[in-house]
Amino acid sequence: MRVRYFGDTDVGKKRTHNEDAFLADPDLGLFVVCDGVGGRARGEIASREAVDFIWEWFKREEKSLAELLDADTKSSSSEAAGKLCQVMRGAIQNATYMVHSLGEQNPDQRGMSTTASAFFVAGNMGIVGQVGDSRVYLARDGRVSQLTEDHTLVNYQLKHGLISPEEAKRSRIRNVITRAVGHKDYVEVDTLPIPLFPKDRILLCSDGLHGYLNPKALDDIMARDVQEAVTHAIAFANDQGGSDNITALLIEVLDC
């Protein structure tokens, strides 16, 4: 599987430091975006450590992953997907335990946590891992869909019909997340396997970008060249106010 990618992060216009972090390792097939939570609790440390711990887990599993994806494997695609999702959950859960432990050991870092949105390219399959309210989008055949669910109080209210979409946009608690890497020593990780096809595009981003997106803006970003799309996305978010740190990581599938 060959991919093109580009990622970038920006502090935005209102924050004094950047608590976002991202990683792209095309050789390993791993792409991650994390958005640190809680400025006083060193969110920038949480996001950076989480990215590293997730990568380390996949790196340790590299040999077994290669064997699983070998063309001669006897596993069915559904069995392989299940095992790959298990690796993704293990990686993010390991990061959760480690970030929480670091916070417990250092009073200055106690309570630090982060979101985590990860995408693993596994042959002609992609594996999504999700905790928090960063997002993963898929563009295919001119249509863009959101692959992840926001773990926020507002999204919970929306799903249960307690508020309207208009009320959600104005809610005082719209940034309160219900799951985070490091807040406790365990977190429930959402995973999703998807088939991959040539020309698919996958966008990972923090809420500093997707908080401003509408369907037209998202379509415009996804239609651009990979590097131009990321540069434009960050400029767009800053033009809209840049109220938070902004991170975008775009992957384009070249062939399967």
Q: What is the pLDDT along the chain (256 residues), one digit of tens a residue?
A: 799 999 999 999 999 999 999 999 999 999 999 999 865 568 999 999 999 999 999 999 999 999 888 844 445 688 899 999 999 999 999 999 999 999 999 888 888 999 999 999 999 999 999 999 999 999 999 999 999 999 988 877 877 677 777 666 767 666 788 999 999 999 999 999 999 999 999 999 999 999 999 999 999 999 999 999 999 999 999 999 999 999 999 999 998 5
Q: Is the dihedral of CA 155, 156, 159, 164 positive or negative?
A: negative
CA angle 176, 94, 127 (to 5 degrees): 80
Count the alpha carbons within 13 Å of 10 in the hemisphere toward its beta carbon: 20
CATH number of 2-7+36-206+213-255: 3.60.40.10
Break the chain into its structural domains and give their ranges: 2-7+36-206+213-255
Instruction: Provide the token pair at 56.
Output: 């380390």
Beta bridge partner(s), residue 131: 116
What pTM, to 2 d.p., does this model score? Answer: 0.93
